[in-house]
């Protein structure tokens, strides 16, 4: 049932564009495997073998630590309505922190209205495999909407509060790996 592809095909782009959520899994060496849900609001296909998402401030920064340690990442999309399907994108992540040239480029190209509140970094994944599978066992769900909680939290913190929070919570992974925040 699984099929492998050398690149993102147009049918994969269409499937991803219809989803409201995707999942990011990452690990490096013998670190814990981290899996996090993300809204597709900030997901971007940059090319046939490159995707990126704007990562908002959160309580951890595992993918950044795994990227810095040379780890790998997998993004998983699955349909929750309509025809069942799972799409996985495998590759190596790299991080562009706020203020870096790559970060500013993504913002100028993808966010002409300005930086979204709480933005922390851009995670870019250079893909080496695209795979689909059936998704027959994925339950049906209905998307109700986005939660405004993170935006409200970030707005209440303000820029100085977010910077302090990132320095307190996002400098190392749960395994003690450095994330690279503050290296520049």
The number of distinct structural domains making up the chain is: 1
Query: Is 90 contained in some domain?
Result: yes
Owning domain of residue 95? 3-169
Query: Is 63 contained in some domain?
Result: yes
Query: Is 58 contained in some domain?
Result: yes
Query: Is 181 contained in some domain?
Result: no
CB of 116 closer than 8 Å to CB of 155: no
- Rounded distance between C-alpha atoms, residue 91 and residue 50, angstroms: 9
Half-sphere exposure (CA, 13 Å, Cβ side) for 118?
16
DSSP state string for 147-165? --HHHHHHHHHHHHHHHHH
Query: Is 76 contained in some domain?
Result: yes
CATH number of the domain bearing residue 102:
2.30.110.10
- Rounded distance between C-alpha atoms, residue 171 and residue 184, angstroms: 13
- Rounded distance between C-alpha atoms, residue 75 and residue 26, angstroms: 9
**Alpha-helical regions (H) of the chain:** 10-17, 62-68, 101-110, 149-169
Query: Is 153 contained in some domain?
Result: yes
Q: What is the pTM of this model?
A: 0.96
Query: Is 177 contained in some domain?
Result: no
- Rounded distance between C-alpha atoms, residue 12 and residue 87, angstroms: 8
Query: Is 8 contained in some domain?
Result: yes
* pLDDT values of the chain reduced to their tens digit, one per residue, 184 residues: 799 999 999 999 999 999 999 999 999 999 999 999 999 999 999 999 999 999 999 999 999 999 999 999 999 999 999 999 999 999 999 999 999 999 999 999 999 999 999 999 999 999 999 999 999 999 999 999 999 999 999 999 999 999 999 999 999 999 999 999 988 6
């Amino acid at each position: 049932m699984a099929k492998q592809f050398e690149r993102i095909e147009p049918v994969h782009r269409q499937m991803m564009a219809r989803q409201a959520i995707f999942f990011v899994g990452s690990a490096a060496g013998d670190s814990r495997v981290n899996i996090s849900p993300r809204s597709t609001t900030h997901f971007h296909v940059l090319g046939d073998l490159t995707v990126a998402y704007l990562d908002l401030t959160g309580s951890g920064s595992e993918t950044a630590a795994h990227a810095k340690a040379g780890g790998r990442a997998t993004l998983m999309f699955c349909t929750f309505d309509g025809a069942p399907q799972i799409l996985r994108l495998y590759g190596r992540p790299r991080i562009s922190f706020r203020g870096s040239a790559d970060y500013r480029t993504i913002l100028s190209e993808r966010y002409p209205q300005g930086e979204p509140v709480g933005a922390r970094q851009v995670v870019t994944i250079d893909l080496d495999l695209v795979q689909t599978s059936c998704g027959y066992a994925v339950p049906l769900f209905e998307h109700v909407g986005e939660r405004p909680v993170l935006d409200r939290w970030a707005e209440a913190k303000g820029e100085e509060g977010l910077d302090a929070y990132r320095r307190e919570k996002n400098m190392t992974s749960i395994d003690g790996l450095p994330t690279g925040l503050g290296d520049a």
